[in-house]
Amino acid sequence: MTFRTFATTCAALGLALGCSSRGACRGDYCGTLVFVNANNPKTLLPPVIDNTGARDIDEQIFLKLADIGMSENTTGDAGFVPELADRWEWDDPRTLVFHLDPRARWQDGVPVTANDVSFSFDAYRDPALGAAAQGALARIASVTVRDSATVVFRFRERYPTAFYDAVYQMWILPSHLLAQVPRTDWLTAPFGQHPVGDGPYRFVSWTPGQSLELAADSTFFLGRPHIRRLIWRFVSGAAAGVDQVVTGQADAIDFLGSPQNIALARKAPQLTLYPYRGSNYVYVELNLRANGDTATPHPIFGDRDVRRALTMALDRAGMATSVFGPYAKVPPGPMPQLWSIWDSTIRTIPYDTAGATRLLSARGWRPGPDGIRVKDGQRLSFEVIFPSTSALRQQYARLMQAEWKTVGVDAQIQPLDQNLLLDRLQAGRYDAVIQGFGADPTPASGILQHWVRGAPDRYSHYQNDDFDRLVTLANSGSVTTAQAAADWRSAMDILNADAPGIWLAAPDNVAAVSSRIAGVKIRPDSWWSQVWTWRIPADRLIDRDRAGR
């Protein structure tokens, strides 16, 4: 056969092959949503997950007893939505009884029972697992089974966020699949690579480092999810993620970040921007004890006035505008915009370079020959560390370095990989660290985690009894809401006055989601938790929505 006939045959074949199976799905229950994430999770087993990507994925696969509502109200139980438990009651102020929804099933068919709940509580509290929620569950004395559909929580005391503590921290785990796996093996257990849950989506496949796929469970007892497939794509960094969304390769990103990215997303015709109250915050934590020797005070940061002067020397509002544009505020403490304790009447340290130089000189730090201040032979020079993966904190480090230089302070920038960073923090071998967190909706979790005596992440070695007393009081059940608010305010005043940290920014989060998706709701503490209620109208389906079975 001649070349021409050969070519035509090929073309015809190609067309025929190409035209077939253009996409089988039509109607209301189609849709493929692609998310981007910069970190490849190591495991999906809830108590031992290590990053927000895993959290987002587990949010689709597992259920809690009840979930927080869009109002993010953590006090009492009115703001909560039933999930695994369809109703609950308080037998007495310290006993909470949940009744499980009889329709709830694990994705392998086994019904969810109260045993699963008590098993989960056990696991989350087990020190061998080191779950992040361990501390938050401390005030729950016990979780017992009354019958197969009823579970009883007993608290050590009465306090306003008791219900929140009982439900928010734990995704209920399948005891029939995990009971026989020794706890020390949970970090590497195969269940973490192929989780079986009871939520709106089922795990389908995972190519490590590349992509992960979930499929809607059409028999989900709270309602069939409209969007059939969820795909997570793992990219090499935040910038790559934004590129993917802007070009239409991905459908949603939770945090655009810089104003340039927001401008880029705004120009993309297929995207809609959704600003929501930020749950992130960034601050500098200072080590009040000597670098490498927790027995002696830090030669620079041990002095409260020096810490205040260092804070005064930084134009925090200017830096926030430089980094985030109009999309961030300087917080009055280590808190995101989401927390109810955000109060503009809290006394914060103003931006005042003249005051800073005066204070430093007054404390004995005089400018040396190279412009850097010196006191008793010690230079006012220290190291600022942060994770090398965070471009945001790198930017802040550069800005602070330049501003401090103008008042005679020498800051050395040192990005470290996560491994080394945590190592140094836990050993107390650092001077200053730029921390960044995505927070739980309650202030208690962050503050109790970092700043009070006995806090597990108290890397600053900060100690103030008045502060501890006020925080414990505000958090206990023994004061009224108004009094608690006042207590929090006073506690924050003390924290600001002592300046063990420099509060840099609490960004407004701006998410970008494909415009074809209807019913988009983003809950600030867990942005993709409502995805199972989203839908794509049949007339707006695109190729990948229609693809597949």
Partner 1 sequence: MRGTAAAAWLARRLAAAAAIVFAVVTLTFIVIHLAPGTPFLPGADRPVDPRLIAALTHRFGLDQPISTQYVRYLSRLVHGDFGYAFSQGVEVATALGAAVPNTLLLAGAALILDLAGGLLLGLMQAARARRTADIALGNATLFIYSVPTFWLGLVLVFVFSIWLRWLPPGGTTTPGLYESLPLLGRLADRFLHLALPACTLGVVGAAGTARYQRAALLETLGRDFIRTARAKGLTERRVLLVHALRNALLPFLTLLGLSLPFLLTGSVLIEYVFSWPGMGRLATDAVLARDHSLVTAVAIIASALVVLGSLLADVLYAVADPRIRRAS
Partner 2 sequence: MSPRATVALLALLAAAGTAVAWARRRALATRAGRRFFGHPAAAWALRVLVFFSLAAALAPLVAPYDPGAQPAIVTLQNAAPSWAHPLGTDVYSADVWSRLVYGGRVSLGVGLLATAIALSVGVGVGATAGYARGWTDALLMRLVDVGLAVPRIFVLLFVVTFWDRISVGALVLVIGLTGWFTTSRLVRAEALSLRERPFVEAARALGASPARIVWRHLLPAAAAPIIVSAALSVGNVMLLESGLSFLGFGVQPPTPSWGAMVADGQGQLATAPWTSFFPGLTIALVVMSWNALGDALRDALDPRPEVS
- Of 228 and 393, the one with the shorter C-beta distance to partner 2 is 393
Please count the other Cβ atoms lying within 10 Å of the Cβ belonging to residue 320. 23
Q: To the nearest whole angstrom, how small is the minimum distance from the Cβ of residue 29 to partner 1?
A: 15
Nearest alpha-carbon partner for 491 in 441, 450, 440: 450
Closest distance of CB 264 from partner 2, Å:
5
- When CB distances are held under 5 to 8 angstroms depending on the partner's kind, the choice from partner 1, partner 2, none that residue 395 binds is partner 2
Environment class of 408 (CB within 10 Å of its CB; exposed 0-12, middle 13-18, buried 19+):
buried
Q: Which does 496 bind (CB under 5 to 8 A by kind): partner 1, partner 2, none?
A: none
Determine which residue in the list 118, 311, 357, 414 makes contact with partner 2, applying CB under 8 A. 414
Closest listed residue to residue 279, CA positions, set 106, 439, 485: 439
- Taking CB under 8 A as the rule, does residue 390 contact partner 2? no
**Least separation, in Å, of the C-beta of 39 and partner 2?**
16
Min CB(182)–partner 1 separation in Å: 10
Residue 447 and residue 473 in contact, taking contact as beta carbons nearer than 8 Å: no
| CB closer to partner 2 out of 238 and 338 | 238
Residue 426 sits in the site that holds partner 2 (CB under 8 A):
no
Q: Which is nearer to partner 1, 245 or 409 (CB)?
A: 245
Instruction: Name which of 210 and 481 has its Cβ closer to partner 1.
Output: 210
* Whether the Cβ atoms of residue 535 and residue 518 lie closer than 8 Å to each other: yes
* Partner from partner 2, partner 1, none binding residue 208, C-beta < 5-8 Å depending on class: partner 1
Binding span for partner 2 by CB under 8 A among 175-183, 257-265, 363-371, 469-477: 257-265
Q: Which range touches partner 2 (CB under 8 A), out of 124-132, 258-266, 491-499, 521-529?
A: 258-266
Residues 6+ apart with CB under 8 A from 423: none
Residue environment code for 431-453, b if the CB has 16+ CB neighbours within 10 A, otherwise e: bbbbbbbbbbbbbbbbbbbbbbe
3 state SS of 439:
coil
Q: Which is nearer to partner 2, 258 or 280 (CB)?
A: 258
Structure tokens at 33: 């949503």
Q: CA 288, CA 286: separation in Å to the nearest integer?
A: 6
Under 8 Å between Cβ of 302 and 547: no
**Contacting partner 2 (CB under 8 A), which of 402, 422, 427, 518?**
402
Q: Which does 376 bind (CB under 5 to 8 A by kind): partner 2, partner 1, none?
A: none
With CB cut-offs between 5 and 8 Å by kind, which of partner 2, partner 1, none does residue 94 bind? none
Q: Does 524 sit near partner 2 (CB under 8 A)?
A: no
Segment interacting with partner 2 (CB under 8 A) among 298-306, 351-359, 393-401, 523-531: 393-401
Number of other CB atoms surrounding residue 283 within 10 Å = 23
Q: Give the shortest CB-325-to-partner 2 separation in angstroms.
A: 9
210 contributes a contact to partner 2 by CB under 8 A? no
Measured CA to CA in angstroms, residue 25 lies from 214, 220, 228 at distances of 17, 20, 10
Least gap, CB of 241 to partner 2 (angstroms): 12
Find the shortest distance in angstroms from Cβ 138 to partner 1. 15
Member of 152, 187, 413, 547 binding partner 2 (CB under 8 A): 413
Kindly state the helix (H) or strand (E) to which residue 310 belongs, with its residue range: helix 304-312
Please name which of 108, 219, 223 lies closest in space to residue 174, comparing C-alpha atoms: 108
Q: At 242, which helix (H) or strand (E)?
A: helix 238-246
Are the C-beta atoms of residues 101 and 223 closer than 8 Å to each other?
no
The nearer residue to partner 2, 397 or 491, going by C-beta atoms, is 397
264 binds partner 2 (CB under 8 A): yes
Half-sphere exposure of 331 (CA within 13 A, CB side): 28
Tokens of 5: 């006939």
Q: Is-contact 366 373, C-beta < 8 A?
A: yes
Which of partner 1, partner 2, none does 135 bind, CB closer than 5 to 8 A by kind?
Answer: none
CB of 118 to partner 1, least distance (A): 22
Judged by beta carbon distances under 5 to 8 A according to partner kind, the member of partner 2, partner 1, none in contact with residue 219 is: none
Q: Could you give the 3-state DSSP secondary structure of residue 260?
A: helix
Number of residues engaging partner 2 in binding (CB under 8 A): 29
Q: How many CB atoms lie within 10 A of CB 197?
A: 24
Does residue 160 bind partner 2 (CB under 8 A)?
A: no
Nearer to partner 2, 314 or 474 (CB): 314
427 binds partner 2 (CB under 8 A): no
Which of 398, 427, 481, 537 touches partner 2 by CB under 8 A? 398
Tell the smallest beta-carbon distance from residue 375 to partner 2 (Å).
23
| Under rule CB under 8 A, residue 485 binds partner 2 | no
Nearer to partner 1, 20 or 480 (CB): 20
532: nearest Cα among 521, 547, 516:
521
Rounded to the nearest whole angstrom, what is the least distance from the CB of residue 174 to partner 2 in the complex?
A: 39
Residue 281 parent element (H or E): strand 280-286
307-336 binders of partner 2 (CB under 8 A) = 315, 318-319, 321-322
d(CA 308, CA 301): 10
Residue among 111 and 259 whose Cβ is closer to partner 1: 259
Tokens linked to 64: 């809690």
User: Which residues, 6 or more positions from 485, have their beta carbon under 8 angstroms from its beta carbon?
Assistant: 340, 341, 343, 474
Backbone dihedral angles phi then psi of residue 180, each to the nearest 5 degrees? -85, 0
Q: Please say which residue, 434 or 471, places its beta carbon nearer to partner 2.
A: 434
Q: Report the sign of the C-alpha dihedral through residues 389, 393, 398, 404, in that order.
A: negative
Give the one residue of 374, 391, 494, 542 binding partner 2; rule: CB under 8 A: 391
| Measured distance CA(145)–CA(115) in Å, rounded | 6
- Chain contacts with partner 2 (rule: CB under 8 A): 239, 258, 260-261, 263-264, 315, 318-319, 321-322, 388, 391, 394-395, 397-399, 401-403, 405, 412-417, 420
